[in-house]
A and B are shown apart, each in its own frame.
Chain A
Amino acid sequence: MTHNNPSQCNGVLCRMWQAFRRPSVKYSVGALLFIGFVAGIVFWGGFNTAMEMTNNEQFCISCHEMKDNVYQEYKNTIHYSNRTGVRATCPDCHVPKEWVHKVIRKIQATNELYHKVMGTIDTREKFLAHRLELAKHVWSVMKKTDSRECRNCHNFEYMDFAEQGRRAVAQHSKGLEEGKTCIDCHKGIAHHLPDMSEVDPTEVVGSH
């Protein structure tokens, strides 16, 4: 146990560790607690602020992969522009609202940073080549979470079927009965679809 003996401790880290372990002789417990409390608020607030900064549309489209591909498609959809002006931006659908799920998703995003560095989808052609795989990831996550992010705004329980069109009423009642989730039917509502011949060959020309 070298760090218990001051005479054998020469390294900077070792001395810092010793200072850290030694009880305070100068400051009261109250003062230390207070400083710790304030510092806690500052660091926690700072951490969440930094996380929120990575959680807005401008941050998402600051990389060209997003801006030139999916963002352009999203601009023509109802989630971008509509009669009431209520919008759902990238993180509203792609980042969970609850803290634990949000942090897990943020940690997963480091994989996306890796692919950004590797240039996995840095051209339109590469993006299109990976499109089906990328879409499948989102679909499977949505399926697993019962379309949790959709339901932050769209909730079966508060849907007024009387206000919906004939087709919507029929489909939604059936979906509710069969325990379906939003993404089962609503694929490609905010972005263009990949080649769907794998999912439903009768929707695509040339497939069987």
Chain B
Amino acid sequence: MIKKLSVALVLWSASGVVTQFATAADVESLRGQTAIEDESRPPEPKKYAKDGEPLPRDYVQQPPLIPHKITNYRIDANSNKCLSCHSWKNYREAGATKISQTHFQDRDENVLANISARRYFCTQCHVPQANARPLVENTFKPITAISGQ
């Protein structure tokens, strides 16, 4: 009886291993189906649009998207290229959107005279857009208050 049971157990676990192998073959790694010794083809780099109208938001509190190219715009302790157009001093002359008032507060809600350090690195939240297909299917729809539909 014990022998029969152990044979059944071995068979059952073996079938499990087989099905595991089968599913492993269907899974594709980031390199695609390229053999381990071959070089995979890297995806083509996405191109950012040079310039455009402001992009609509998709949800409440979404950081506005950057509707232009930002290649080589440096943000460091010495200067911030974004602010040379988007700061409150420069936005009118540059015809740019000014940064939000919320960016002048530190985490204790003290109002500062200049942009707060925690808001200084623009690209932490604001990103430019490329015409890229979504990686996975997505059925998200913005709420009526934002989309107006």
- A residues at B contact (CB < 8 Å): 76-78, 165-168, 170-171, 188-189, 192-196, 200-208
Cβ of B76 within 8 Å of any chain A Cβ, yes or no, is yes
**B115 & A205 in contact (Cβ 8 Å cutoff):** yes
Residue of B nearest to A185 (CB): B84
In whole angstroms, how far apart are the Cα atoms of A193 and B120 in the complex?
Answer: 16
Interface flags for B73-97 (1: CB within 8 Å of A; 0: not) read: 0101111110110011110001100
**Chain B neighbourhood of A208, CB < 8 A:** 113-114
Interface flags for B84-127 (1: CB within 8 Å of A; 0: not) read: 10011110001100000000000000000111110010000000
In whole angstroms, how far apart are the Cα atoms of A10 and B63 in the complex?
Answer: 90
- B residues at A contact (CB < 8 Å): 50-52, 68-69, 72, 74, 76-81, 83-84, 87-90, 94-95, 113-117, 120
Q: A204-B79, A205-B120 are in contact. Are A165 and B94 (CB under 8 A)?
A: no
**A200 & B78 in contact (Cβ 8 Å cutoff):** no
| Least Cβ–Cβ distance between B88 and chain A, in angstroms | 7
Residue of B nearest to A203 (CB): B83
In whole angstroms, how far apart are the Cα atoms of A196 and B22 in the complex?
Answer: 61
**B51 & A202 in contact (Cβ 8 Å cutoff):** no
**B74 & A188 in contact (Cβ 8 Å cutoff):** yes
| Least Cβ–Cβ distance between B11 and chain A, in angstroms | 62
Residue of B nearest to A77 (CB): B72
In whole angstroms, how far apart are the Cα atoms of A200 and B87 in the complex?
Answer: 10
**A202 & B83 in contact (Cβ 8 Å cutoff):** yes
11 contacts between A and B (CB under 8 A): A78-B72, A165-B69, A167-B51, A167-B68, A168-B51, A170-B95, A193-B78, A200-B83, A202-B88, A203-B81, A205-B80
What are the nearest 7 A-B pairs in CB distance? A165-B51, A202-B87, A196-B79, A166-B51, A165-B50, A202-B89, A205-B120
**Chain B neighbourhood of A207, CB < 8 A:** 114
**A200 & B84 in contact (Cβ 8 Å cutoff):** yes
- A200 CB contact (under 8 Å) in B69, B72, B74, B89: B89
Q: A76-B72, A167-B51, A203-B87 are in contact. Are A192 and B78 (CB under 8 A)?
A: yes
